[in-house]
Structure 1
């Protein structure tokens, strides 16, 4: 069985900018990574990262029927504005069987999540730079790390590639 990561992003640019390197590293580690975004987006930058894509609306409509991922990563913007996304994150945190990772401005402080970072491999930095170029963000700097806020699982069932920020 392969590990699964579902990424809930408001747009391609957001997913590439905030989590692109981490997604590449997870794909290279053998994970099945799927980015859930709007259906009318150009997904070429995500293809550069090696991830699959699905329409966010259709997945949200059938969320209960979809196999639960080992990790779900969510843009804080969507957590704060979409009740379905918010409820899915809260349920995952409550059950404690899915690692929950948020990125971006406005990460809710009331959640039981802690700051973490991922150190990008050289390959992840290279692929992220190419994906950023594909979304016309070629002036963006690709750093050595990406930062998130992560909910702790009751029983850790996924490899630890996110390091606590202390």
Structure 2
């Protein structure tokens, strides 16, 4: 069995900037990583990281019949855009079988008590591939990829040994 990570992001660039190193490291660890996008972005930056992509709308329509991932990562701003995303995240947190990882500033108050700060320390390869993906998206951050990515995470005691509590 391969582990699965589904990433919900408004744009490919947002996924790369916020979680690109983590995405790459999970792919290299043998995970199936799928980024679910709400628009028709240039997918090349995500392909550089090794992620597959799907249209978010089609996935939301078939969410219950889709195999459940071990981890779902969501850009917190998506909760305001689509209440279905918040409903699925809330359900995953309540069931406790799926790790939920969030990034961004607008975490809804109702989820705030269920998630704690966590960090992913990027491998050297992840930093290099994230920089290349950012460059492919013509983003100026390509020259300054840091060594960590910060998230809010629920259910830390899971298969996600690559996320550690932030101090």
TM over 0.5: yes
Is 1:129 aligned to residue 131 of structure 2?
yes
Q: Aligned with 1:58: secondary structure?
A: helix
Structure 1 spans left out of the alignment, 5+ residues: none
Aligned length: 164
What is the CA deviation profile of residues 115-155 of structure 1, one whole-angstrom value per residue up to 9, with x for unaligned ones?
000000000000000000011103442100000000016xx
Structure 2 spans left out of the alignment, 5+ residues: none
Match of 2:159 in 1: 158
TM-score, with length taken from structure 2: 0.94
**2:6/2:33 contact within 8 Å kept:** yes
Structure 1 runs of 4+ with >3 Å offset = none
Question: Per the alignment, do residues 109 and 163 of structure 1 end up closer, same or farther by CA in structure 2, a change over 3 Å counting?
Answer: farther
**2:10/2:39 contact within 8 Å kept:** no
- Between the aligned partners of 2:25 and 2:73, the Cα distance in structure 1 is 14
- Between the aligned partners of 1:25 and 1:139, the Cα distance in structure 2 is 19
TM-score, with length taken from structure 1: 0.94
- Between the aligned partners of 2:164 and 2:109, the Cα distance in structure 1 is 19
- Between the aligned partners of 1:137 and 1:43, the Cα distance in structure 2 is 14
- Please report the RMSD computed on the Cα atoms of aligned residues, expressed in angstroms: 1.3
Farther-moved stretch of structure 1 (65-74 vs 38-47): 38-47
